[in-house]
Chain A
Amino acid sequence: MNHPIRRLGCGLALALLAAACGSSNGGSSNTINIDPSMTEAAIASAFSGAAENSTINMAAGTYHFTNSLNLSTKNGITVKGAGMTQTILDFSAQTGGADGLVQSIPSGQTVKVTFQDFAVRDSAGDGLKITGGNGVHINRVSASWPTRAQHGPYGIYPVQCKNVLVENSSADGASDTGIYVGQSDTIVVRNNVVTHNVSGIEIENSFNADVTGNDSNNNTVGFLVFDLPDLPQVGGHNVRVYNNQFRDNNTPNFGDPSGEVALVPAGTGGAIMANTKVEIFGNTFSGNTAVGFSVISCYAALGVQACSGGTAGYVAIPSQVYVHDNTFTSNGTDPLAHNTNQQHPSFQLAALLASGFPQTQNGPGWLDGHVSDVTYDGIFPLGGTGNPFQICAQNNGSGHFANMHLDQFDAQAPNLDQILTFDESAFVCSLPALPAVPVPAL
């Protein structure tokens, strides 16, 4: 048997010849050429040893990895392939490490990085993960799971980064989120295509984000803007989601039951949870069978205990959310249609929405035979009436607004049809436009 270790050892010897008595940190900017004939060990050496401002050029072809591929954390590296369909990093045989291509920058450093023109496939965990970058440009990168049975959580995953631009990229099949930007600041996510993920795009616990020009279809949910408790960065704010397509996001939720996205019913166009100052405009929501768009608190999603205490500065209630000038078509027609697994957490909110259809003569129920296009949980923990948290919706075509008053919901005897209200008057309002996020200088 030709044991893989023998081959690894051979590649290592070559790498050693190149690196013998080298410097661990120095080196000047240069170009490193990678091609598929090289061993994994030699490629891993090239990635881990890349010097400041160097460019790693990956020739067209398929590269097979058995371990995570870790990139040097030196400043200014560019990792560049021959195209999203030309240079394929294939992790289908991965047995070591957790994720695909990884850059883990120690805290306190300022490190720029560019990834462009390649695909990451079948990683055990996340496809492309960058922790702690400042000036992260991801352009024409694809992440997908064409053959692996159990898909990784995130496709493209910058976390705790500043100045992030993700564009012209794609993610397909992530078991949590296709393009996920977490705990970051100053973010542009534009002109990407995300399909067959649980969540297409998510901005989580982040500040100052623009999500625009994306096509998010056939996921469980088109997009999420979430703020979760108990993370180092909380208090998500200033997020604009505009001029995107969120259509036919009806893939049954296949997220691990313990994750937050596992709560989202299939057929959701988009949702925000917690956060302050969010503007949703110019988007098209179509064919999402559970609900077009929802604004909810942490309490409605995770329960009171999980949302209380935690990291200082966490605010469980969404506020200053402005939903305007969107187009809603054929959403909310049947919340249970693609949520048939009663054991999966996503069933609960689907059943909740379904209970809003008129069941008795006592309550109003959803109007016009579908879940309203803009739904709000209406949870005011300190009491109050009207619209204390400034949730505004207007000029959304024929889309209805509904206040679900979930503080009165009875999970034992679902009664949404009796508690929801359609009195829009308090919610037809406008808020100042949020500032555009400057496209990071990269």
Chain B
Amino acid sequence: MSWSGRVVLASALLALAGCGSKASGPCTPRVPTDDRYPSSLAEWCQVELDQGKVTALASDVVPYELTTPLYSDGAIKRRTVRVPPGTAAAYDETGPLGFPDGTVLTKSFGFRADARDTALPIHWVETRLEWKAQGAWNFMTYRWNDAGTEAVAAPGGEVVSFSYVDVDGVTQDAHYLVPSQLQCEQCHSESGAVAPIGPKARWLNTDHAYPEGTENQLAHWSRIGILTGAPDPADAPRLPAAADPDAGTVEQRARAYLEANCGFCHSSQGNARISGLYLSASVTVPVQLGICKRPVAAGVGAGGRPYDLFPGQPDQSIIPYRMSSTTPAVAMPQIGRSIVDAHGVALITEWISGLPGTCQ
């Protein structure tokens, strides 16, 4: 066991090994009507931890996944969606699905002591909630106690430091960010008004293993009546799993990775709009994508490299430089990553290496 043992996770795992049974009985999921939130996650009646697994507390709390998730220090993530009974989300080809008021999304973040050993229990750090009320989205995260029996609202966020062994067998020292309410909004303002980022058709258009069998998520949501207007999955857009070499070309996977990890800020309305660098997969203007684009306000973040993206020359490109750093003011994304995503860096490096053309 390669825990540093210096902080929370080791003791938490011991606690999990000892108990971790269901903490609550039957409940009815809360349908929010305003921006208020209870202090305990249990009062939402969406998910709980049962034997170390994130478990839905009602049959209409539906688990889902995204083809390419945001890298969050290598956290394992579990997501759920619940719309009020009798309502449905409206399909949208490009933006987030049109969820109705009363929708609750959850996303739980956890780690194994050794990510290579899937038999190990997952220590869950937090469960983040988004809910829609009166036409507006709201955010709060709930921090799990070490025993995994209760999660309480953490509006101010927290930095949680621990070590774990990643999927490559490398011991990583994480300073994992449990975001404050405001930090949630910083990333979730992709289109100005705060909104979900992940649940878009192009990220959802993939299979999920449901208890009753594997099914495409768009098809499943349509079949159970929580999504209307969706085309056949074959006719819906799809971005590949960046981590899966068989899922698409290097270019397709690299663009998917950049959108998932950068595009929510680097968009024309997002938090990094001032840069003019837009990294959504749909961007076609070369300079907006960073090709031969000089840095403006990067300062030391540019690392002396001339362009955001220099075709054929990853070592002269600022994007992989900032992805490879954990130094504040250099590292990108600015928040939510304290460990270098070596696989992401490798993918972007491979893509840039193969891009034709030059600058000047």
**Could you list which residues of chain A lie within 8 angstroms of chain B, going by C-beta atoms?**
1, 3-5, 8-9, 12, 15-16, 19-26, 41-42, 44-45, 47-49, 66-68, 70-73, 94-99, 104, 106-109, 123-126, 131, 150, 152-154, 157, 159-160, 175-176, 180, 182-183, 228, 230-232, 255-260, 302-303, 305-306, 309-311
Which B residues are in CB contact (< 8 Å) with A99? 329
Which A residues are in CB contact (< 8 Å) with B306? 258
Residue of A nearest to B34 (CB): A23
| Min distance, Cβ A63 to any Cβ of chain B, angstroms | 15
Q: A19-B153, A153-B299, A259-B299 are in contact. Are A106 and B328 (CB under 8 A)?
A: no
Q: Which of A24, A67, A183 contacts B138 (CB 8 A)?
A: A24
Q: Does B181 have its Cβ within 8 Å of any Cβ on chain A?
A: yes
Q: A131-B274, A258-B304 are in contact. Are A98 and B328 (CB under 8 A)?
A: yes
Which A residues are in CB contact (< 8 Å) with B139? 24
User: From residue 269 to 301 of chain B, which have CB atoms closer than 8 A to chain A?
Assistant: 269, 271, 273-276, 287-288, 292-301
Q: Which of B157, B160, B175, B292 contacts A44 (CB 8 A)?
A: B157
Q: Does B38 have its Cβ within 8 Å of any Cβ on chain A?
A: yes
Which A residues are in CB contact (< 8 Å) with B304? 256-258
Which B residues are in CB contact (< 8 Å) with A107? 189, 192, 269, 273
A230 to B157, CA, bound (A): 36
A48 to B305, CA, bound (A): 34
CB–CB A230/B293 < 8 A: yes
CB–CB A159/B274 < 8 A: yes
Which A residues are in CB contact (< 8 Å) with B155? 15-16, 19, 22, 24, 45, 48-49
| Min distance, Cβ A104 to any Cβ of chain B, angstroms | 5
Residue of B nearest to A19 (CB): B155
Q: Which of A5, A47, A150, A255 is the most central at the interface, judged by chain B CB atoms within 10 Å of its CB?
A: A5
| Min distance, Cβ B149 to any Cβ of chain A, angstroms | 17
User: From residue 234 to 287 of chain B, which have CB atoms closer than 8 A to chain A?
Assistant: 268-269, 271, 273-276, 287
Which A residues are in CB contact (< 8 Å) with B296? 182, 228, 231, 259-260
Q: List 7 A-B contacts (CB under 8 A).
A: A9-B158, A16-B152, A20-B152, A67-B159, A96-B177, A98-B301, A125-B299
CB–CB A25/B153 < 8 A: no
CB–CB A25/B158 < 8 A: no
Given contact pairs A48-B182, A106-B185, A180-B297, enumerate 11 new A-B contacts (beta carbons under 8 Å). Answer: A3-B7, A21-B39, A23-B35, A45-B180, A48-B181, A107-B269, A153-B297, A230-B294, A232-B276, A256-B301, A305-B359
Which A residues are in CB contact (< 8 Å) with B299? 125-126, 152-154, 175-176, 255-256, 259
Which B residues are in CB contact (< 8 Å) with A228? 294, 296
Which B residues are in CB contact (< 8 Å) with A153? 297-301, 329
Which B residues are in CB contact (< 8 Å) with A231? 274-276, 296
CB–CB A259/B329 < 8 A: no
Q: Which of A12, A24, A49 contacts B37 (CB 8 A)?
A: A24
Total A-B contacts with CB atoms under 8 angstroms apart: 211
A302 to B156, CA, bound (A): 44
A98 to B34, CA, bound (A): 33
B188-203 vs A, CB cutoff 8 Å, 1 = contact: the mask equals: 0100111000000000
A4 to B160, CA, bound (A): 10
Q: Does B318 have its Cβ within 8 Å of any Cβ on chain A?
A: yes
CB–CB A108/B161 < 8 A: no
A182 to B274, CA, bound (A): 9
Q: A49-B155, A176-B299 are in contact. Are A70 and B161 (CB under 8 A)?
A: no
CB–CB B35/A3 < 8 A: no
CB–CB A182/B297 < 8 A: yes
Q: Does B98 have its Cβ within 8 Å of any Cβ on chain A?
A: no
CB–CB B156/A124 < 8 A: no
Q: Does B21 have its Cβ within 8 Å of any Cβ on chain A?
A: no
Residue of A nearest to B37 (CB): A24
| Min distance, Cβ B152 to any Cβ of chain A, angstroms | 7
- Give the interface size bracket for B toward A: 35 or more
CB–CB A96/B360 < 8 A: no
Q: Does B335 have its Cβ within 8 Å of any Cβ on chain A?
A: yes
CB–CB B303/A256 < 8 A: yes
Q: Which of B34, B159, B183, B331 contacts A70 (CB 8 A)?
A: B183
Which A residues are in CB contact (< 8 Å) with B293? 230
Q: Does B324 have its Cβ within 8 Å of any Cβ on chain A?
A: no
Nearest first, the 6 A-B pairs at minimum CB distance are A153-B299, A45-B156, A125-B329, A48-B182, A124-B328, A124-B329
CB–CB B294/A8 < 8 A: no
| Min distance, Cβ A130 to any Cβ of chain B, angstroms | 11
Q: Which of A15, A47, A73, A98 contacts B334 (CB 8 A)?
A: A98
A310 to B292, CA, bound (A): 11
Which A residues are in CB contact (< 8 Å) with B72? none
A419 to B233, CA, bound (A): 67
A41 to B143, CA, bound (A): 14
Q: A96-B335, A106-B194, A259-B299 are in contact. Are A12 and B158 (CB under 8 A)?
A: yes
Which B residues are in CB contact (< 8 Å) with A47? 182
Residue of B nearest to A175 (CB): B299
Which A residues are in CB contact (< 8 Å) with B305? 258
CB–CB B295/A259 < 8 A: yes
A230 to B291, CA, bound (A): 11
Q: A96-B338, A125-B299, A182-B274 are in contact. Are A66 and B159 (CB under 8 A)?
A: yes
Residue of A nearest to B305 (CB): A258
CB–CB B186/A70 < 8 A: yes
Q: A24-B36, A232-B274, A256-B300 are in contact. Are A44 and B180 (CB under 8 A)?
A: yes
B318-360 vs A, CB cutoff 8 Å, 1 = contact: the mask equals: 1000000001110100110010000000000000000000011
Q: Does B223 have its Cβ within 8 Å of any Cβ on chain A?
A: no
| Min distance, Cβ A310 to any Cβ of chain B, angstroms | 6
Which B residues are in CB contact (< 8 Å) with A97? 328, 334-335
A232 to B271, CA, bound (A): 13
CB–CB A303/B360 < 8 A: yes
Residue of B nearest to A234 (CB): B276
Q: Does B302 have its Cβ within 8 Å of any Cβ on chain A?
A: yes
Which B residues are in CB contact (< 8 Å) with A152? 299-300, 329
A216 to B35, CA, bound (A): 48
